[in-house]
Amino acid sequence: MSEKYRGLSPAEFFHRNKEIAGFSNPSRALYQTVRELVENSLDATETHGILPYIDVEVRLHEDRPEWVTLRVADNGIGIPAHEIPNVFGRVFYGSKYVVRQTRGVFGLGVKMAVLYAQMTTGKPIYVKSSTRDSDVVGEYLLYIDISRNIPHVQKMRIKKKNKNWHGTIVRLTLEGAWLQSKKRIEDYIRRTALISPYATIRYRSPDGELLFERVSKELPEPPQIGKYHPKGVDIEILKDLIRRSNNNDMTLAGFLEKYFEGVGEKIAQEFLTWAGFQPDTKVKELKLADLEKLATAMKNFPKWRRPRPLTLSPLGPELLKKGVKSILKPEFATAVIRPPSSYGGHAFIVEAAIAYGGEIPPQDNVLLLRFANKMPLLYDEGVDVSRKIVDSIDWSIYKIKFPAPVAVVTHVCSTKIPFKGVGKEAIADVPELEHELEIAIRDVARRLRIYLSKLEKMYEVKRKEVTIRKYMGEVSSSLAYVLNMDPNSISSLLEELLKKELEKKEVTVNA
Amino acid sequence: MSEKYRGLSPAEFFHRNKEIAGFSNPSRALYQTVRELVENSLDATETHGILPYIDVEVRLHEDRPEWVTLRVADNGIGIPAHEIPNVFGRVFYGSKYVVRQTRGVFGLGVKMAVLYAQMTTGKPIYVKSSTRDSDVVGEYLLYIDISRNIPHVQKMRIKKKNKNWHGTIVRLTLEGAWLQSKKRIEDYIRRTALISPYATIRYRSPDGELLFERVSKELPEPPQIGKYHPKGVDIEILKDLIRRSNNNDMTLAGFLEKYFEGVGEKIAQEFLTWAGFQPDTKVKELKLADLEKLATAMKNFPKWRRPRPLTLSPLGPELLKKGVKSILKPEFATAVIRPPSSYGGHAFIVEAAIAYGGEIPPQDNVLLLRFANKMPLLYDEGVDVSRKIVDSIDWSIYKIKFPAPVAVVTHVCSTKIPFKGVGKEAIADVPELEHELEIAIRDVARRLRIYLSKLEKMYEVKRKEVTIRKYMGEVSSSLAYVLNMDPNSISSLLEELLKKELEKKEVTVNA
């Protein structure tokens, strides 16, 4: 029998392979759906300078206990009414295919949620949205036409806005194993509150209500949309940019200056001379072999400026520490931010925090909380670069003896997180990233060691004080007898002496 | 600034996110390219009853040491000339979107290799192929037009066949870090030879030639193309089948019998009564709510037959043992196959082997060799279900004391392997699968314990024999003196006695 060949639409592909996007079963699918919606809401708010207010509600269906209705509402920038169908109903469609740090990047997550809902309960997704500058609100009920990968609108209504509302409300009903997923979902919400301490998140579920009020009104500088870095280029990117430039007179020098980050007139000239190109060559006339030579040279030129971090939006150590303290409630916490770095032309910044004691339960290993572009990563820790580093460290040199109540928080911000899968659960061990993460983790670990050393010394002094006091009465009366003095005055003299000694040894311990 | 929205073609998506398909850097990309091509070759041969002969060649470019040319040739069924462009130049296109065990499933791997080649070296892929029943050979040089996800043919030639050749030859040139990847690639080829002991694989590289001659001419029964199992259905699959049936008169009963595995007239009637449907309802008249009810009932009906394993093609314990012995060269090896099972309507079969001693180096942990649909899995072991099971077993109960020279081989065959990513490196922990794997591993481990126990006893007997012989001379002469007999005749009497005793205790140890 001969083989039959056919093509699949992207929606068909992910319908068949939903586990690849994290939708492997009703428990994981519910968790993943919460995640995708919350992350879209955060992207729609803080990325645009809005203090996030996010309302998440999980409701179980009365007649069908395996059906879960999830509603997420935000105060974000909203989606233009005419874009709503594609944004929710077409796989590989979105606004985030640019050089900028966002949680979403694939244009896939929310579509997977829609797919999962319609394949398990047959229900369409409900979306209501309005943008800041619009005077209408769009409401849709829609499916995905899987075989054609296009939205199928069941109902829509565009109406005048009667108040100044902007944001997005999404509601869908899917098969979800609530009992098996509720712990993960709560963990996820809690960790989201940790990494977004300027967000207020209200979470209502069959188990009750949790309210995470923002602990700071200070929003990190929102990320800007950047250009490609010349080091991150390949032949196909060059071809695409030349085609899109749509300008027959564009010279090589002009092309480099226009489309690449940190490339001014001077450095463009210097590079082209170095690489053996004429700066006034028309890009439209470049042959494939020229493009190959150009791409290789761009990768290898040693003098490009580093990618600038304006496309990134880290938390900063103060906010990160606030978040850690408010969620983990430790006795000690500290955080660092590393200077911007890059891999393959993608800018990145690493932040790390360490927390010790307090409400952190003692464990046989370091409790690791991983974050990427402000998203908590809960699954697949075993293959994540942060776990690899934490496990490679000999913690005894930092005065940690397990079981110990110690948590490490890592946060990677990048225009391109090297995720190991579209489910966005683990970060690959890119060498540049690994290097920065290790420095950051060791840095906060060192600070913890200083804290623990001081604590040790303080206890030692206290212990000595107790011992001395124990014998002070006896010593006083013996001295009083020998010197024929009043025991009380001797006692207070000794007390003064002790105080002076203790003051010398006083240790300041800041948590 | 308002957001700009756009769509991506599947090729654009994977060009941007190539690490998701395993193409994260030049070293991993070279490994992944070898893998994709070899797996396509194996699918084209043994899946169709042909004893595979596969020729793999890695060549470094003289002027450009970072350029690698890879050529893979097979004696498979070939690709019809008119299908070659789409098969190599269109993401999500192929012949493997059916219910059947194959290595390839995504219609993505070889396209990623083409993409990676053209973005790093700008070179097109060369393909030459002919099918068994064709009298022509097709030759192509082609690229992928990334933004449109269509093949771009640079050159083609269709010529008459002058000999009876069929098969496929593929050649491409990509940037690949040979030094960093050569160990993995050799490992991969070696393990492929283990799991396909009926294949001859010739591997030529800058390091020399390796030839793995087939150790068996016995080919496992090729897998057949099956139908969906009624338990594996969802609303969207039902919609799609009804649409494709294109028959306005088809009844529910007829629909179930035609499109689902193991559903005859009787069981269809029984199910429909159980689920509250009229058997002669026309499927075209079913409403969405009916489809939802039907899908739920199909999932929950307790009396479907198990999926039949005809779609699968396991190795069988004999061949698996042969493969293990020829590649690992152990002192002891044994293998089992479990009965067919299923999860979510997908048939699967688990096989496992254990090997001990010989050329296996002693290690602090069990050496795990994972296979899925006859593909070696080399990366991401830390999150694979087999590793999880192996780590959860207390090996001391099987008489293993680490460091020990012990290797466990697991092989999962399924029409749908629950891979954790499109790079196909780790299997998710689906409960049904985990259960079968654990039984299989414990089964071979028990057999190893029996072998090790026998070995222990044999050594014990040997030790006793040595002790007895040590004193036999003295005992003989003492007895001879007391009984006034010839010491030699006593000695031979004692020798006979010892032999009889030893025979009683003789232990047969079969490796």
Contact A173, A138 (CB under 8 A): no
The domain that contains A189 carries what CATH number? 3.30.565.10
Q: How far is CA B421 from the centre of its chain?
A: 16
Residues B23 and B86 in one domain: yes
Where would I find the beta strands (DSSP E) of A397-506? 406-414
In-domain check, residue A348: yes
* Sign of the torsion formed by the C-alpha atoms of A78, A84, A90 and A95: negative
What does the pLDDT profile of chain A (511 residues) look like in tens digits? Answer: 578 999 999 999 999 988 888 898 899 999 999 999 999 999 999 999 999 999 999 999 988 989 999 999 999 999 999 999 999 999 999 998 888 899 988 889 999 999 999 999 999 999 999 999 999 999 999 999 999 999 999 999 999 998 889 999 999 999 999 999 999 999 999 999 999 999 999 999 999 999 999 999 989 999 999 998 998 889 999 999 998 888 889 999 999 999 999 999 999 999 999 999 999 999 999 999 999 999 999 999 999 988 888 999 999 999 999 999 999 999 999 999 999 988 888 899 999 999 999 999 999 999 999 999 999 999 889 889 999 999 999 999 999 999 999 999 999 999 999 898 888 899 988 889 999 999 999 999 999 999 999 998 888 888 888 888 888 888 888 888 888 888 788 888 888 888 887 777 665 665 5
Q: Are A238 and A297 in contact (CB under 8 A)?
A: no
Helix, strand, or coil (residue B121): coil
The verdict on B21 and B136 lying in the same domain is yes
Report pLDDT digits (tens) over B208-262.
Answer: 999 999 999 989 999 999 998 998 889 999 999 998 888 889 999 999 999 999 9
Q: Which of A242, A380, A420, A430 to mutate to test the interface with B (most CBs of B within 10 A)?
A: A420
List chain B residues with CB under 8 Å of A106: 13, 17
Cβ pair A119:B291 closer than 8 A: no
Strand partners for A377:
A370
Residue of B nearest to A429 (CA): B24
Residues A445 and A458 in one domain: no
| Distance in angstroms (rounded) separating the CA atoms of residues A172 and A141 | 10
Residues B165 and B259 in one domain: no
In a shared domain, residues A415 and A396: yes
CB of B237 within 8 Å of a chain A CB? The answer is yes
Best B93, B173, B236, B241 residue to mutate vs chain A (most A CBs within 10 Å): B236
Max CA-CA distance within chain B?
118
Q: Could you say which of A17, A118, A240 has the minimum Cβ distance to residue B106?
A: A17
Report if residue A358 sits inside a domain. Answer: yes
In this complex, do B86 and A234 lie within 8 Å of one another by their Cβ atoms? no
- B405 and B417, same structural domain? yes
Q: Are residues B336 and B405 in the same domain?
A: yes
Nearest to B292 among A122, A131, A146 (CB): A122
Structure tokens at A468: 């001395």
**Mean pLDDT computed over B349-358:** 97
Taking the Cβ of residue B125 and every Cβ of chain A, the question of whether any pair is shorter than 8 Å is answered with no
Statement to judge: residues B313 and B293 lie in one domain: no
Give the angle subtended at the CA of B405 by the CAs of B404 and B406, to the nearest 5°: 95
Is A420 in the B-facing interface, judged by CB distances under 8 Å?
Answer: yes
Residue B484 structural domain: 452-504
Does the residue A2 lie in any domain? Answer: no
- For residue B509, being part of any structural domain is answered with no
User: In terms of pLDDT, which residue wins out, B330 or B460?
Assistant: B330
Q: Tell me, yes or no, whether B441 and B457 share the same domain.
A: no
**Same domain membership, residue A473 and residue A331:** no
Binding residues of A for ATP: 40, 74, 95-96, 104-111, 424
User: Is the link from the previous residue into A124 a cis peptide, with omega within 30 of 0?
Assistant: no
Distance CA B7, CA A78 (A): 19
For helices A265-275 and A252-259, give the axis angle rounded to 10 degrees: 130
Minimal Cβ distance to B383: which of A4, A17, A380: A380
Residue A224 lies in a domain: no
Residue where a domain stops, chosen among B448, B469, B495: B448
Complex-level ipTM: 0.88
Q: Which amino acid is at B263?
A: V
Asked if residue A334 and residue A287 are part of one domain, the reply reads: no
Phi-psi region of A344 (alpha: psi -120 to 50; beta: other; left: phi over 0): left
Q: What is the pLDDT of residue A319?
A: 95
Q: Tens digits of per-residue pLDDT, B419-452?
A: 988 888 999 888 899 999 999 999 999 999 999 9
Number of domains in chain B: 4
Half-sphere exposure at residue B118, Cβ-oriented, CA atoms within 13 angstroms: 26
Taking CB atoms and an 8 Å limit, are B419 and A292 in contact across chains?
Answer: no
Residues B324 and B378 both lie in one domain: yes
Contact A5 B87 (CB under 8 A): yes
Gap between the Cα atoms of B415 and A415, Å rounded:
37
To the nearest 10°, report the CA torsion of A35, A41, A44, A48: -100
Secondary structure percentages of chain B, helix, strand, coil, to 5: 45, 25, 35
Q: How far apart are CA B427 and CA A20, in angstroms?
A: 11
Considering only CA atoms, give the Rg of chain B.
29
d(CA A253, CA A263): 9
Within a domain: B220: no
